[in-house]
Amino acid sequence: MGLKISLSLEEIYQPIQSFLPQVEERVLEILATPNELSSEVVRYFFKSKGKYLRPALVLFGASFGKNISENVISTAAALEIFHSATLIHDDIIDSAYLRRNLPTVNAKWNSQVAVLVGDYLHDKAIGAIFNTKNDRVIAGFLNTAGVVCDGEIMELKEKNNFNLKEETYFNIIERKTAALLATCLESGAVLADLPIEQILALKKFGLYFGMAFQILDDCLDFMGKENEFGKTLGADLQAGVLTLPLIRLIALLDESRKAEIFSRVKSGLNHAQLDDLVRLLEEHEALDYSIQRARDYTDRALLELSVFPESPIRSSLKALLYYVLQRNR
């Protein structure tokens, strides 16, 4: 995939744009409750919209079929709710204070509220998926929920492991990120009754796209300026989470330099030390290397699209790959 000016997400979402307001409404319908605290947290959390990537993928998957059913809208909403539940729990785990430039649920309320509201969202998402009455969608979703959780537990276990292997890293991100994106496309495709080879192609596309998406996300932790993100630069590393750029760098360093970086990271990096580390990553082309790995995945994702004839939906999925490689936030 050569150089190309990437489209904005809004442009990419154009073919499914008209359905997104319905999904947003469905999210709030699914989460409606007389419980005041729950509904206060829900209103707060969903006020700031994320990228709505998971609903968009469900809609893209379904759009290869004849029409977008009510079940598709509900599934898109459910997957955004499920994703939100994991974000709320992640923010407890990372003791994060900001998400989308607003205080996290654990910061604005407390971690108790965050645990329970996360559980509430989780339950409601599963309930909505169950209401589709589509066994394949339900089973696929439940399996993926387990896989996502598994990936997060693996990540937690490998915290501060400076000997983390690339293979383990790829295994973790496949579980914690890519599996859910694959399930979004698969669910949409299943609900739209696509032929099995198209369902599988979309699922694989989602998986490879998800790998690239997470690798770039991890690279961005070392790139750009602080305030652009609504998150802190080097945050993963400060939390002990080793990602591809650092794994690559460590593989290239001799033992003494490795030990030096390890001890520095352990005692908490200040701004100057973080700048040093970023310079070292650049010197050893560890970010380039990582971006190249992401590109390998987008190449594989692109191949999966070849089972589909040209269409605006296919073009959007293609554009999504360029978007991921070029995104800077």
Task: Output the six-digit token pair for 247.
Answer: 């794994």
Say how many residues touch a copy of itself, by CB under 8 A.
36
In whole angstroms, how close is the CB of 241 to a copy of itself at the nearest point?
11
Piece in contact with a copy of itself (CB under 8 A), picked from 8-16, 144-152, 196-204, 297-305: 144-152
Q: How far apart are CA 172 and CA 174, in angstroms?
A: 5
Q: Does 248 contact a copy of itself by CB under 8 A?
A: no
Question: DSSP secondary structure string, 68-119?
Answer: --HHHHHHHHHHHHHHHHHHHHHHHHTT--EETTEE-HHHHS-HHHHHHHHH
Specify the residue, 125 or 313, whose C-beta has the smaller distance to a copy of itself: 125
Q: Across the chain, which distance is largest between two alpha carbons, in Å?
A: 61
Residue among 325, 221, 322, 328 at smallest CA distance from 7: 322
Q: Running DSSP on this structure, what letter comes out for residue 176?
A: I
Q: Please, are residues 201 and 307 in contact by the beta-carbon 8 Å criterion? A: yes
For 95, left (φ over 0), alpha (ψ -120 to 50), or beta? Answer: left
| Residue 304 CB contacts under 8 Å (≥ 6 apart), including other chains | 201, 202, 204, 205, 208
Which residue among 153, 260, 279, 303 contacts a copy of itself (CB under 8 A)?
153
Q: Does 235 contact a copy of itself by CB under 8 A?
A: no
Piece in contact with a copy of itself (CB under 8 A), picked from 9-17, 142-150, 185-193, 264-272: 142-150
Specify the residue, 1 or 156, whose C-beta has the smaller distance to a copy of itself: 156
Q: Taking CB under 8 A as the criterion, which residues in 58-97 touch a copy of itself?
A: 89, 92-93
Which residue among 14, 111, 273, 315 contacts a copy of itself (CB under 8 A)?
111
Which residue among 16, 62, 117, 244 contacts a copy of itself (CB under 8 A)?
117
Element (H, E) at 297: helix 286-304
Piece in contact with a copy of itself (CB under 8 A), picked from 56-64, 138-146, 217-225, 228-236: 138-146
Q: What is the four-CA torsion angle of 261, 263, 268, 272, rounded to 10 degrees?
A: -40
Residue among 32, 138, 165, 149 at smallest CA distance from 79: 138
Q: Please, are residues 248 and 289 in contact by the beta-carbon 8 Å criterion? A: yes
In whole angstroms, how close is the CB of 5 to a copy of itself at the nearest point?
40
Which residue among 1, 32, 156, 303 contacts a copy of itself (CB under 8 A)?
156
Q: Does 107 contact a copy of itself by CB under 8 A?
A: no
| Residue 32 CB contacts under 8 Å (≥ 6 apart), including other chains | 39
User: Per-residue x/- mask for a copy of itself, residues 6 to 45, rule CB under 8 A?
Assistant: ---------------------------x-xxxx-------
Which residue among 26, 54, 83, 124 contacts a copy of itself (CB under 8 A)?
124
Piece in contact with a copy of itself (CB under 8 A), picked from 58-66, 137-145, 226-234, 242-250: 137-145
Which residue among 9, 98, 116, 307 contacts a copy of itself (CB under 8 A)?
116
Piece in contact with a copy of itself (CB under 8 A), picked from 19-27, 113-121, 184-192, 223-231: 113-121
Which residue among 102, 115, 253, 280 contacts a copy of itself (CB under 8 A)?
115
Task: Output the six-digit token pair for 64.
Answer: 């290869």
Q: What is the four-CA torsion angle of 261, 263, 267, 269, rounded to 10 degrees?
A: -10
Which residue ranges make up the site for a copy of itself (CB under 8 A)? 33, 35-38, 89, 92-93, 111-113, 115-120, 122-124, 126-127, 130, 138-139, 142-143, 145-146, 149-150, 152-154, 156-157
